[in-house]
Amino acid sequence: MLTFVVLELRVGAVGRIGAAGHAEPSAIAKERVGGPLALGSAGLVGDAVADRRHHGGPEKAVCVYPAARYAAWAARYGRPLPRPAFGENLLVDGVTEDVVRVGDVFALGGAEVEVSQPRIPCAKPAAFTGEARLTRDLVETGWTGWYLRVLRPGPVAEGDVGRLLRRRDGAATVAELNAARRAR
């Protein structure tokens, strides 16, 4: 059975990132909270979204990032990236883009969630981390993380285990979708 563990639970307010004179609104700098927090169709209580055109909403209620990727980024850049480099609400252990499939349904805490789509790389993680190559490297590696939609609201906390309930036959992994986007 496919499972993962929530290592970090994060929410944030809208702030500004970027160079002086070019700062943009962003809620990427999320603060770690242990929880439990209520998770509803719009995401976690207390979490803000600055750019609703590209982030948030029912199809992107929760941003998930695999903890294993942080070590790979540190090896690639020779330094650790600050967390949450990707604006993730959930930092998880046990799954990556290679095994999670769009449409996978997980029981998580008191909620039920579904993998809805890969996180599309944008410039905000590069601005937040100060790593200019990050957006290009996210596209190249496919280490984007993914979004969840909420099928049944409920509380979620650090330490919760996500347990796979259902999987669609033949559904693509997040990595396969990222590779297809890269090939276009």
Dihedral sign computed on CA atoms, order 63, 66, 72, 78: positive
Q: According to CATH, what is the number of the domain 3-183? A: 2.40.33.20
What mean pLDDT comes out for the span 99-103?
Answer: 98
Res 71: pLDDT: 97
Domain ranges (residues) in the chain: 3-183
pLDDT in tens, 14-42: 999 976 677 889 999 999 998 899 999 99
Query: Is the whole model's pTM more than 0.85, yes or no?
Result: yes
Res 184: pLDDT: 83
Cβ(56)–Cβ(95) below 8 Å: no
What mean pLDDT comes out for the span 55-76?
Answer: 96
Res 20: pLDDT: 66
Res 54: pLDDT: 78
What mean pLDDT comes out for the span 47-60?
Answer: 89
